[in-house]
Structure 1
Amino acid sequence: MIPHFSDHAANERTYLAWVRTAISVMAFGFLLERFDIFLLFTSRAATRVTENLHTRASQWLGLGLLLVGALMIAGATLRYYRNHKAIEAEASSTYGDTWTARAMAALLVILAIFLTLYVARQVAALS
C-alpha cells in the first residue's frame, strides 16, 4: 500500500491538468502566430484594398502565448514537486497560492484583452 496515495494521485491529476492547459495555450499561440496568413489571404480576396492591417502584432502575441505556456509547464512542475514533498512530510504545512500563478493569470488576462482589441481592429479594417 502506498502511503497517502489519494493525495499523490490528486496532486498528479492537478499537474496533468496544468500541462494540458499549457499545451492548449501554446497551441492557441501557434495558431495566433499564423493568423497573419489568414489576414493576408482575406485582404487579397477583398474587393477593395485594405491598408490598415497590421499582422506583426499577431506574431508577437502568438510568441507571447507560447512563452506563457512554457512558463505554465515549468511552474506546474515546480508546484507538483513542492506538493509532493509536503504530502510526504510528517509536519503539517500551509497550502497557498504562489505569486507566479497569480502573475501568469494576470498576464493571460492582459493578453486576452489585447487579443480582443486586436481582432476587433482587424475585422474593422476588413469590413
Structure 2
Amino acid sequence: MSSTQTKARENSSRVRDHLANERTYLAWMRTAIALMGFGVVIVRLRHFQAPRINHPGVGWKLGLIFSGVGLITVLLSTWHYFAIRHAIDEDVYEPGDRWVILFSIAVILLGSGVIYFVFTASLNPASLFVPE
C-alpha cells in the first residue's frame, strides 16, 4: 500500500472523529437549549404553584435552576469540544466517564425537583396560567 493511500485512510478516520465530536457538541447544545427553554416555561407559566402576595411561590427558583444548568451545559460542552478536538489532533484521545456522570446527576436532581413541585403544588385549576 502506498504512503498516499495510507495517509488518505488515516485522514479519513481523523475527519470522521472530528465530525463525530461536532455532532456530540451539537447534541449538547440542543440539550442546553431545551433546559433553558424548560426553565423559561416554568417561570413564565408558573405552573407549579399559585403565586401569593407575600410569597410568590418557588416555581421560579426551579426555572432559574434549569436555565442555570442549561448555561453551564453550554460552557462545559464548548470546553469539552475543544479538549476532544485537541486530543484527536494529538492522537491521545481517551474516552472518559466524568461528563456522563456529572450530567446524569444534574438531570436526576432537576427531575427530582420537578417531581417534588408537581406533588406539592396546589391543584387549583385557576392557578395554572397566571397573567402578569
Q: Which of the five TM-score ranges fits, normalised by the shorter chain?
A: 0.7 to 0.9
Matched with 1:122 is 121
Report the Cα distance in structure 2 between the residues aligned to 1:113 and 1:38, rounded to whole angstroms.
14
Matched with 1:110 is 109
The CA deviation at 1:60 is 0.3
Structure 1 segments of 4+ aligned residues over 3 angstroms from their partners: 37-40
The RMSD of aligned alpha carbons is 2.7
Matched with 2:25 is 15
Which residue identity does 1:105 align to in structure 2?
A: S
* Distance of aligned partners of 1:101 and 1:75 in 2 relative to their CA distance in 1, 3 Å threshold: farther
Which residue identity does 1:21 align to in structure 2?
A: T
Matched with 1:96 is 96
Stretch deviating more after TM superposition (13-22 or 108-117): 108-117
Structure 1's unaligned 5+ residue stretches are 44-50
8 Å CA contact 2:49–2:59 kept in 1: the answer is no
The CA deviation at 1:102 is 2.5
Structure 2's unaligned 5+ residue stretches are 1-7, 126-132
8 Å CA contact 2:49–2:122 kept in 1: the answer is no
8 Å CA contact 2:49–2:58 kept in 1: the answer is no
Which residue identity does 2:40 align to in structure 1?
A: F
What SS does the corresponding residue of 2:58 show, helix, strand or coil?
helix
User: Structure 1 vs Structure 2: percent identity of aligned residues?
Assistant: 30
The CA deviation at 1:39 is 5.5
What SS does the corresponding residue of 1:12 show, helix, strand or coil?
helix
Matched with 2:4 is none
Report the Cα distance in structure 1 between the residues aligned to 2:47 and 2:107, rounded to whole angstroms.
24
Using the size of structure 2 for normalisation, the TM-score is 0.72
Using the size of structure 1 for normalisation, the TM-score is 0.75
* Distance of aligned partners of 1:56 and 1:116 in 2 relative to their CA distance in 1, 3 Å threshold: same
8 Å CA contact 2:42–2:63 kept in 1: the answer is yes
Report the Cα distance in structure 2 between the residues aligned to 1:110 and 1:37, rounded to whole angstroms.
19
Which residue identity does 1:75 align to in structure 2?
A: L
Aligned length: 113
The CA deviation at 1:93 is 3.9
